[in-house]
Structures are given as C-alpha cells and as structure tokens.
Amino acid sequence: MKLYRDQDGVARAEADSPQVLLAEFLASDIQGDTVMVAHVISLCLKGQGELTGNAFSFELSEGQVNLENLFTEEAAQYPVEQVLLSLQKWQKFIQCSG
C-alpha cells in the first residue's frame, strides 16, 4: 500500500487488489484524524465493533473485518491482523507527515 500526501497536503492511500477498499477506507473515512485512527485500532484490539463513516461501514467479528462502500456497495473482507497493521502504518504516517 502506498501512503502519500497529494498536492493539497491531504493524506492518501493507494493499493492494488485485494487491498483497494482498505486503502479507500483509510483515505476517505480515517483521513488525517488521529483520534479516529486510534478508535478503530482499539476496535481491532478488542476484536469486535462496528462503525459507519463517510463512505464505508466497518464491521469486525470473528477475526475478520468487513468493509462495505456505502455508495457502490462494493465489499471486502480482511483478517483483523492485516487491518490493524494497515491502521498502525496509517497512524504513523499521518502523525509524522502532517
């Protein structure tokens, strides 16, 4: 997954399949919000929880995270460990590059 800031300084994430929706979730729903990323990390560490953001629903249960785009209804499932690692990288990125 590629993390970068665009010409306006907005945090962005890009990825190839199968991580496309995860990258979109980070950029559209977490954005540069350090409180939000910490909250979602805490959900992953608890192993359960759900939230609805700007463009995605996030549901975590039984070690899997289900992400669904609220507009396109495209969905993907990821192991919680993969999501947690991506969130931690995103957290470090937005804290260090902001």
Question: pLDDT 10s per residue in the chain (98 long)?
Answer: 999 999 999 999 999 999 999 999 999 999 999 999 999 999 999 999 999 999 999 999 999 999 999 999 999 999 999 999 999 999 999 999 66
> What is the pTM assigned to this prediction?
0.93
The pLDDT of residue 92 is: 97
In terms of phi and psi (left: phi > 0; alpha: psi -120 to 50; beta: otherwise), the region of 7 is alpha
Q: Contact at 8 Å (CB) between 69 and 24?
A: yes
The pLDDT of residue 98 is: 60
Q: Contact at 8 Å (CB) between 13 and 27?
A: yes
- For the chain, the domains span 2-97
